[in-house]
Amino acid sequence: MQPKVYVTRRIPESGINLLQQSCDVEIWDSDDVVPRDVFLEAVADKDGVLCLLTDKVDAETLDVAKNAKIFANMAVGFDNIDVDECTKRGVMASNTPGVLTDTTADFAFTLLMAAARRIREGHEFVHAGKWETWGPLLLMGQDIHHATLGLIGLGRIGTEMARRGQGFSMRVIYNDVVRREDLEQELGLEYADFDTVLKESDFVSLHVPYMPATHHLISTEQLALMKESAILINTARGAIVDPQALYTALKSGEIWAAGLDVTEPEPIPMDDPLLTLDNCLIAPHIASASFNTRNDMSELAANNILAALSGKRPPTILNPEVLEDS
């Protein structure tokens, strides 16, 4: 009998095709999040689960998923998975690092440029029929070239963001819990403490994982340190930024603009005050959404499952200690 795999959403076919070669695959055949009760019922008899950042893999899930050997997240972030709980029960967890790095950094830089140069306002201005003449004062924005880019987090995506900044002759400074002198040398980056990055940057871009220590890492006090001309970019996780504090800072002109691919909560409620602001550009969590990258993510998640179900080490396992113990 073939192992049973559950896929919690429609995903690019390449990953499904891989799984179907040797597994009995059940898919929540929808673009909507699988309801919790359906999810719990479906995982009960599965050997592997390909899940998304919208699916909570917690003690309740693991209590039900008695046969599951692996929960393979199709995302690099895995704050939806209680990895410690998985490890305790000998269940593997995996994510999809690497394959989305460049695409996500491209998008973070896209948001940076679009917010700085007021692309959304320009587009709306044209479509509203307001473009009557060339205007010397029309929709002026912030320069990107030779500005200071401050990175909070210098992991894979942060590092690629640094490279993009250098392509625009930016000064790049960063803060991370781990200092990377090798990258400072290689890319000409400057390390600075957290507050200094906030104070000196024209653009602050967040590239840290979401965890208790990064919950509302950017709130009133931190926004107050930033320049009035500064732009905040968040492609990491919404809850790293305190949304009320951000609204106040944007509304009062304490900072100049924000470009967000992630919000707290997601999706952003239609009555969220951030949606009333012209200086807040918001995308629906699509930083990794290129055709190639989403294919690669679905294949990597599938390969993690196939490895786990055939007794091999999943290529991007998050808790390898599970294998050592077995």
Q: What's at 285, amino acid-wise?
A: H
Q: Looking at beta carbons only, is 154 or 230 nearer to ligand DGY?
A: 154
Quote the CA–CA distance of 171 and 71 in Å, as a whole number.
40
* Distance of closest approach, residue 235 Cβ to ligand DGY, in angstroms: 8
Of 133, 81, 49, the residue nearest 318 (C-alpha): 81
Pick the catalytic residue: 9, 180, 237, 294? Answer: 237
Under rule CB under 6 A, residue 122 binds ligand DGY: no
* Contact yes or no for 50/302 (Cβ under 8 A): yes
Query: Mask of contacts with ligand DGY, 37-76, x by CB under 6 A?
Result: ----------------x---------------------xx
Q: Looking at beta carbons only, is 249 or 268 nearer to ligand DGY?
A: 268
- Name which position in 8, 234, 288, 304 contacts ligand DGY (CB under 6 A): 288
Burial class of residue 129, CB neighbours in 10 A (0-12, 13-18, 19+) = exposed
Under rule CB under 6 A, residue 255 binds ligand DGY: no
Under rule CB under 6 A, residue 223 binds ligand DGY: no
Under rule CB under 6 A, residue 111 binds ligand DGY: no
Tell which phi-psi region holds residue 169, choosing left (phi > 0), alpha (psi between -120 and 50) or beta: left
* Contact yes or no for 155/175 (Cβ under 8 A): no
Q: Looking at beta carbons only, is 100 or 240 nearer to ligand DGY?
A: 100
- The residue with tokens 């305190």 is 242
237 counts as catalytic: yes
Is residue 112 within a helix (H) or strand (E), and if so which, with residue range?
helix 101-116
Q: Looking at beta carbons only, is 50 or 76 nearer to ligand DGY?
A: 76
Residues with a catalytic annotation lie at 237, 266, 285
